[in-house]
């Protein structure tokens, strides 16, 4: 019997999150091996224009759930419409991104369905019996465990930027199924009154390919402007350790670590941070880590692919100049 794989796509302000395409890319591989059907679920209001890109990345069907009360994300709204859709169609596998939204509604949805949930997954594979195995880090990324969910549906949240993104095929259409959404004001207990944005923040930290991160060693908020310059040259964004955030040098929105955001960029540059186990929990899955610290025994060097021992106030400006030369 063929398996039904669902990707719950995430969109914000009428833009699909990159992790949705990464999940579709990986799910294509699973669907082929399982002789399965790959579908996507899109939730929002006036978002029908986003169904085509989901088809380009492999979705055979897109369940479109539109309603004015779904304009902004809410746990109650997502939980109600997804639960009803799942009970009607009985998918075998449900995946979404380990984003702020995904980590909020998926545990609640799993509990309502009375099934398990694999969180912060970094890879998936099928064993010899076509049993789906999730891989996820534990102990702040020091070990990787394999998780098998015996429930149905099998559910997981997957970290952004850890799965390969396949090229899109614009000649591949998806069948759009418009779902009749029954939702009332009384279903939504939490009301969104205002959405505040960080001025100048153009790249989502969890989806950035390059992150230039600062710790206690930057000695003040002013130096984050220098890190921001380097990040801009590399088409990336800035991050920070908890120490820098607690000192009031930068907003908590940029914090990476166990009590901040979990990131997996292609390049993570740690400037002036020791690399505590709590910080490693948020960035150890980065594909390439560069540590810059004057202390040669700093823990950050144990997980770095490249380490630079020295004064970051001399090293970072030199890197900026070299990048400018290369770009010119």
Domains parsed from the chain with CATH numbers? 4-187 (3.40.50.620), 205-327 (3.40.50.1220)
Q: At what angle do helices 102-113 and 75-89 cross, to 10 degrees?
A: 50
pLDDT higher at 101 or 192: 101
Q: With pLDDT > 70 as the criterion, what percentage of the chain qualifies?
A: 98
Report pTM.
0.89
Mean pLDDT over each residue of the chain, to the nearest integer: 94
Mean predicted confidence (pLDDT) in 32-47: 96
At a CB cut-off of 8 Å and minimum separation 6, what does 15 contact? Answer: none
**pLDDT tens-digit map of 201-249:** 567 898 899 999 999 999 999 999 999 999 999 999 999 999 999 999 9
In this model, does residue 198 exceed pLDDT 80?
no
Identify any residues that bridge with 261 across adjacent strands, giving them in sequence order.
256
Q: CB-based contacts of 92: which residues, under 8 Å, 6+ apart?
A: 3, 4, 5, 36, 152, 153, 154
Count the Cβ atoms, other than its own, within 10 Å of residue 294. Answer: 14
Alpha-carbon span 151 to 155, nearest angstrom: 9
pLDDT value of residue 199: 66
**Percent share of the chain, pLDDT over 90:** 87
Three-state DSSP class for residue 196: coil
Q: Report which secondary-structure segment, H or E, holds 125.
A: strand 123-126
Q: Specify the pairing of strand 61-66 against strand 175-178.
A: parallel
Q: Give the residue ranges of DSSP H helices in the chain.
A: 18-33, 51-56, 75-89, 102-113, 224-233, 242-246, 277-283, 300-303, 312-327
Residue 182 phi/psi, 5° resolution? Answer: -105, 105
Q: Does residue 200 have a pLDDT over 70?
A: no
Please give the pLDDT value at position 42. 98
For residue 193, what pLDDT is reported? 84
Give the mean model confidence (pLDDT) for residues 263-282: 94
């Amino acid at each position: 019997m063929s398996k039904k794989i669902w990707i719950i796509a995430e969109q914000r302000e009428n833009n699909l999150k990159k992790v949705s395409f990464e999940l579709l890319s990986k799910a294509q591989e699973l669907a082929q091996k399982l002789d399965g059907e790959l579908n996507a679920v899109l939730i929002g209001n006036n978002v029908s224009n986003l169904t085509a890109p989901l088809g380009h990345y492999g979705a055979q069907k897109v369940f479109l759930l539109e309603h004015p009360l779904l304009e902004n994300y809410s746990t109650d709204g997502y939980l109600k419409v997804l639960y009803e859709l799942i009970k009607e169609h009985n998918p075998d596998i449900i995946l979404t991104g380990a984003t702020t939204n995904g980590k909020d509604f998926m545990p609640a949805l799993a509990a309502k369905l009375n099934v398990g949930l694999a969180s912060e997954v970094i890879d998936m594979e099928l064993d010899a019996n076509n049993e789906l195995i999730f891989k996820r880090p534990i102990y702040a990324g020091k070990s990787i465990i394999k998780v098998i969910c015996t429930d149905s549906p099998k559910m997981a949240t997957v970290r952004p930027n850890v799965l390969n993104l396949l090229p899109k095929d614009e000649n591949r259409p998806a069948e759009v199924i418009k779902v009749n959404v029954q939702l009332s004001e009384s279903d939504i207990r939490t009301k969104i009154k205002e959405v505040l944005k960080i001025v100048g923040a153009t790249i989502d930290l969890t989806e950035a390919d390059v992150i230039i991160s600062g710790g206690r060693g930057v000695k003040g908020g002013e130096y984050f402007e220098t890190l921001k310059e380097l990040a801009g040259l590399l088409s990336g964004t800035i991050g920070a350790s908890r120490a820098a955030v607690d000192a009031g040098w930068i907003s908590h929105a940029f914090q990476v670590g166990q009590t901040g955001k979990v990131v997996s960029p292609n390049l993570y540059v740690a400037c002036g941070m020791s690399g505590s186990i709590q910080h490693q929990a948020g960035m150890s899955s980065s594909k390439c880590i560069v540590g810059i610290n004057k202390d040669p025994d700093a823990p950050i060097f144990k997980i770095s692919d490249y380490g630079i021992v020295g004064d970051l106030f001399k090293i970072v400006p030199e890197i900026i100049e070299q990048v400018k030369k290369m770009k010119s």
